[in-house]
Amino acid sequence: MIEHTGKYPPICIFPEGGTSNGHYLLTFKRGAFSSLRAVKPIVLKYSFGTLSPAWDIVPFVPLLIMQLSLFDFKCEIHELPVFTPNDYLFQQHSNKGEDKWEVYAWAIREIMSLVGDMEKNDQPFRDKLHYEAILGFRKESKKPEDEPLLQVQ
Q: What is the DSSP letter of 35?
A: T
Number of domains in the chain: 2
Instruction: Assess if residue 2 is contained within a domain.
Output: no
Instruction: Assess if residue 16 is contained within a domain.
Output: yes
CB of 18 within 8 A of CB of 24? no
Summarised one tens digit per residue, pLDDT across range 74-127 is 888 899 999 999 999 999 999 999 999 999 999 999 999 999 888 888 877 777
Instruction: State the pLDDT at residue 88.
Output: 95
Q: Are residues 62 and 92 in the same domain?
A: yes
3-state secondary structure of 83: strand
Q: Are residues 91 and 140 in the same domain?
A: no
Domain that holds residue 151: 124-153
Q: How far apart are CA 44 and CA 105, in angstroms?
A: 18
Residue 128: closest CA among 119, 138, 113, 118: 138
Q: Are residues 69 and 111 in the same domain?
A: yes
Neighbours of 3 (CB within 10 A): 4
The pTM for the full model equals 0.69
